[in-house]
């Protein structure tokens, strides 16, 4: 009974978060319709500055972990190929960002569960997902 209540709360939290994000997106769309391209001034502080020319110079937007993961994902490594086949048409950049987030989890078991959760977005057998997640975690440990 308690497990069902936790699951219900989890779904409610996810729905609440989705509703909040959707509301924000609708507000942004409405601002775009109302103000045209000038709506960007509402959301960006330094629109007219040189941020685009200096993008990445300060290292803020650069992640060597993300670079290593992206290199791995496009490689001919057996685990990378299996992962690409498993996830199909999903964006490799999206996968890399999600894997980087998983890698930031300090507890190894929680990290493995996060990777398994990432892989379960596609319907597959649990054994296959578990094996792929385990080999992927080991491969990430090697390259990072």
pLDDT at position 19, please? 92
State mean pLDDT over 2-26: 81
Taking CA atoms, 64 is separated from 1, 56, 68, 140, 144, in Å, by 45, 12, 6, 13, 9
The pLDDT-based confidence of 5 (bands split at 50, 70, 90) is: low
pLDDT tens column, 63-82: 688 889 999 999 999 888 88
Tokens for 79, please give them: 């685990």
Structure tokens at 16: 């609440």
CA distance 72 to 63: 14
CA atoms within 13 A on the CB side of 52: 4
pLDDT attached to residue 125: 52
- Rounded Cα gap, residues 22 and 24, in angstroms: 5
Cα torsion angle, 90, 96, 97, 99, sign: positive
């Amino acid at each position: 009974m308690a497990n069902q209540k936790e699951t219900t709360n989890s779904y409610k939290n996810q729905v609440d978060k989705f509703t909040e994000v959707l509301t924000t997106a609708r507000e942004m769309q409405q601002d775009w319709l109302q103000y045209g391209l000038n709506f960007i001034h509402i959301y960006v502080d330094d629109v007219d500055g040189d941020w685009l020319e200096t993008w990445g110079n300060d290292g803020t937007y650069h992640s060597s972990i993300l670079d290593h993961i992206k290199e791995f994902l496009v490689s001919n490594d057996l685990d990378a190929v299996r992962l690409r086949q498993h996830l199909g048409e999903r964006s490799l950049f999206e996968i890399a960002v999600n894997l980087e987030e998983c890698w930031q989890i300090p507890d190894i078991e929680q990290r493995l569960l996060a990777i398994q959760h990432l892989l379960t977005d596609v319907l597959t057998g649990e054994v296959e997902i578990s094996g792929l997640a385990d080999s992927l975690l080991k491969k990430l440990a090697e390259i990072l």
